[in-house]
């Protein structure tokens, strides 16, 4: 796999707190890379550093194999992005907005090219409508069209489904999948809609308080034949000691947020439970988790997901 984004030991410190703390990850060519984290996790701060909108306190960023500080203009010329609410000219039409942004990118687009981009995001029938008449969801779609107008190789989207209705969310999901599968583009997407991310991401990272919690292939992390088993017993420490001294010690195991967590094949759950009970453990509960939402909440140790307003303070 060819890396498109390489982040190494990235940190961003503000007075009084650290938003991003020694973060490293890699986005490969053709990935739909899910960027997940609770409110305040540091996702938007990281995205702003990738786009050179703010400078890191420490660490290195390479995009397309080149240092972002030394090759900023070249890299950004191959990158399209939508962060927060798109910046649009409200008294111009959708097509006029797209034409303006195309010219700012050095492109003199034909009408058919502009209409093709608008059709991609479901706005062809509103091409001549002024943006001031658009809903927030329609503005979000137009922002995506602006990000695509110069045919970038890398697309970075921060909460692209904000303001969209269920059909619009499904359309956006299909568009993102198509950009990767059909056009070979690399997409980094931050989203609070875990069910949507589960359907479209090929790889993902979860960060919490600026630190990486887990990164990997979605199909491996959420393999339905393998589960993250969450166990509670009367004596957690004794149970954990037994697991670590048993044949199950080959599996990753830890005590997290009051529960023992171990990953295993689903078919082994009954054998594991029986052996744990035979070892004298008083079992309170054993819960397998393999949906993205359950997995996310388990490894971040949070009781609920914060929702749509991601990282806005950063």
In the sheet where 66-67 sits, what is the strand order?
17-28, 3-14, 58-63, 66-67
In the sheet where 253-256 sits, what is the strand order?
253-256, 259-265, 226-233, 283-289
Residue 77's pLDDT is 92
Residue 66's pLDDT is 97
Give φ, ψ of 249 to 5 degrees.
-65, -15
Q: What is the sign of the dihedral through the CA atoms of 39, 42, 47 and 51?
A: positive
Residue 263: Cβ-neighbour burial (10 angstroms; 0-12, 13-18, 19+): middle
Bridge pairing between strands 283-289 and 66-67: unpaired
CB environment 11-30: b (16+ within 10 A), e (fewer): bbeeeeebbbbebebbbebb
Cα 23 to Cα 212: distance, rounded to the nearest angstrom = 6
H or E, element range at 163:
none
Cα 64 to Cα 240: distance, rounded to the nearest angstrom = 44
| Mean pLDDT per 10-residue section of the chain, whose length is 314 residues | 94 95 96 88 93 96 96 94 85 95 89 92 94 89 91 92 80 88 92 80 91 84 73 91 89 79 84 91 83 67 42 33
Cα 228 to Cα 177: distance, rounded to the nearest angstrom = 27
138: nearest Cα among 90, 183, 80: 90
In angstroms, what is the C-alpha Rg of the chain?
A: 22
177: nearest Cα among 167, 164, 187: 187
Domains of the chain, CATH where assigned: 3-218 (3.40.50.300), 225-289 (3.30.70)
Q: Say if CB 154 and CB 4 are below 8 A apart.
A: yes
DSSP letter at 89 equals -
Residue 221's pLDDT is 72
Q: Say if CB 49 and CB 12 are below 8 A apart.
A: yes
């Amino acid at each position: 796999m060819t890396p498109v984004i390489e982040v190494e030991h990235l940190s961003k410190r503000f007075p009084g707190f650290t938003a991003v703390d020694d973060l490293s990850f890699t986005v490969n060519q053709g990935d739909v890379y899910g960027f997940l984290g609770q409110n305040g996790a540091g996702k938007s701060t990281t995205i702003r550093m990738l786009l050179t909108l703010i400078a890191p306190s420490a660490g290195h960023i390479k995009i397309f194999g080149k240092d972002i500080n030394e090759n900023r203009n070249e890299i950004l010329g191959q990158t399209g992005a939508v962060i927060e609410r798109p910046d649009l000219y409200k008294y111009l039409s959708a097509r006029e907005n797209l034409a303006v942004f195309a010219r700012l990118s050095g492109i003199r687009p034909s009408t058919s090219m502009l209409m093709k981009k608008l059709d991609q995001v479901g706005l062809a029938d509103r091409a001549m409508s002024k943006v001031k008449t658009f809903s927030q969801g329609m503005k979000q779609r137009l922002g995506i069209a602006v990000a695509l107008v110069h045919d970038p190789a890398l697309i970075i989207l921060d909460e692209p489904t904000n303001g969209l209705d269920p059909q619009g969310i499904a359309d956006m999901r299909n568009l993102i999948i198509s950009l990767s599968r059909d056009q070979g583009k690399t997409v980094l997407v931050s989203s609070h809609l875990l069910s949507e991310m589960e359907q479209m991401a090929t790889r993902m990272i979860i960060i919490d308080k600026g630190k990486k919690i887990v990164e990997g292939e979605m199909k491996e992390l959420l393999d339905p034949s393998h589960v993250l088993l969450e166990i509670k017993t009367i004596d957690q420490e004794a149970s954990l000691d037994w697991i670590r001294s048993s044949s199950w010690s080959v599996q990753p195991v830890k005590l997290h947020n009051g529960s023992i967590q171990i990953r295993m094949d689903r078919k082994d759950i009954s054998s594991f439970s029986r052996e744990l009970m035979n070892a004298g453990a008083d079992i309170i509960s054993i819960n397998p988790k393999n949906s993205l939402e359950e997995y996310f909440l388990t490894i971040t140790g949070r009781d609920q997901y914060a929702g749509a307003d991601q990282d806005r303070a950063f």
